[in-house]
Amino acid sequence: MRVSLQVSSALVLCQAILGVALPAVEKRATTTTASGPQFTNGQPDDGAGRGGPILGGTNKQIDLDNPDNLGQQSTDNGIVPNFKWRFSDSKTRIFRGGWLREQVIQDLPQSHDISAAQQHLDKGGVRELHWHRVAEWGFVYAGSVLISAVDEFGRYQVEKLNYGDIWYFPKGVAHTVQGLEDGNEFLLVFDDADFDKAGTTFNVDDWIAHTPRDVLAKNFGLPASVFDNVPKPNPNIFNGTVSTKNVTDGPAGYLSGNASFVYRTLQHEPEKVPGGGGEFYKIDSTNFPASKTLAATFVRLKPGGLRELHWHPNAEEWLYFHKGYARATVFVGNTNARTFDFGPGDTAAFPDNSGHYIENTSETEDLVWIEVYKSNRVADIPLTQWLALTPADLVAQTLKIPIEIAESLKKEKQVLIA
């Protein structure tokens, strides 16, 4: 029971017993003298009679970083699950040569299509030779890496990737990644919500260590003793020296052109953004043909800018926030909506066809994030364009707005609004 109710009840009781009038007390008492909304101070208190201070255990920093979780938005409604996961809450696995922390469906149950990881490689550090039962998509955001891959036809590719460069390895493609600078880091995305479960990743040394030696000798035409030092258990990431050997004379040739597993985002022009709010790069099968199961965007939004209200008709939206601070309200239908606050290292999964926006809440810093969809293309339907291409009188009647306003709505996608 709140303190104000306890005090009020006691005074009423005294008045009844003594038969005298006592001074009136305020109906609302707080533990602070501050006035006005207290959300940005980490308290679920609107300053106008709703809510109050947190008196029990809480994580003050998380409360301060997430004022919308405290009820700041009066337009939020209903019970909406958590669509957010912080990589900082993931267990980090450290190795000689780097580290890995991941987000799978057990961390973010609302992400039904996609899981992801941040991976760090030291100079010379190697993510050992392996393949997956699922497709892998990577985005380099620090340093540079060497990727090497071989497909089912014996075609191969060895490329150096820098900031903004992307790779896509279809399921089953053999590959490896090595760090080339003093610090190298990248985002990994998989078209399966639980990519780390058993039977999803296959490391070459793990396989060799669990194959009879006489079979290995027969397969490779080598003495069995060659494999005496194969690591057990497999290291996942290990220290190495930067590769200097070139691969030549592959019988099926080099993976290039439309067959290439590499896309260099920043060497292409961004999409047209009429709203003037930033840069929007689309990376899907229309410009990166190899990427058949994962489509993505790389977005830079100016301070105070807005990714216009829209929804995606073809897939869930998975997000990784790299720099800056954001707010997004997700409308899931039937009057239910919830607002989330995001910062660097946060991930999110917005439901298939849910209406939403993303706003840069900083006055000085660009917001940089990546969107990924389990699809062969990026697709969205903006709210404004839909209304503008609907008979204006129907829009006006539905929203109870002047018909002149309905007729003035922009017919072209704005995407990023300044």
- Full 3-state SS string of the chain: CCHHHHHHHHHHHHHHHHCCCCCCCCCCCCCCCCCCCCHHHCCCECCCCCECCCCCCCCHHHHHHCHHHHCCCCCCECCCCCCEEEHHHCCEEEECCEEEEEECCCCCCCCCCCEEEEEEEECCCEEEEEEECCCEEEEEEECCEEEEEECCCCCEEEEEECCCEEEEECCCCEEEEEECCCEEEEEEEECCCCCCCCCCEEEHHHHHHCCCHHHHHHHHCCCHHHHCCCCCCCCCEECCCCCCCCCCCCCCCECCHHHCCEEEHHHCCCCCCCCECEEEEEECCCCCCCCCCCEEEEEEECCCCEEEEEECCCCCEEEEEEECCEEEEEEEECCEEEEEEECCCEEEEECCCCEEEEEECCCCCCEEEEEEECCCCCCCEEHHHHHHCCCHHHHHHHHCCCHHHHHHCCCCCCCEEC
In whole angstroms, what is the distance from residue 83 CA to residue 149 CA?
Answer: 34
Residues 6+ positions from 229 with CB-CB distance below 8 Å? none
Whether residue 268 is annotated as binding a ligand: the answer is no
Q: 102, 316, 359, 371: which one is catalytic?
A: 371
132 is known to lie in a ligand binding site: yes
Q: Would residue 271 show up in a list of annotated catalytic residues for this protein? A: no
Whether 130 has a binding-site annotation, put simply, is yes
Residue 102 annotated as lining a ligand binding site = no
Q: Establish whether 210 is an annotated binding residue.
A: no
- 136 assigned binding-site residue: yes
- The binding site consists of 130, 132, 136, 175, 310, 312, 317, 356
Active site residues: 371
- The binding site for Mn(2+) consists of 130, 132, 136, 175, 310, 312, 317, 356
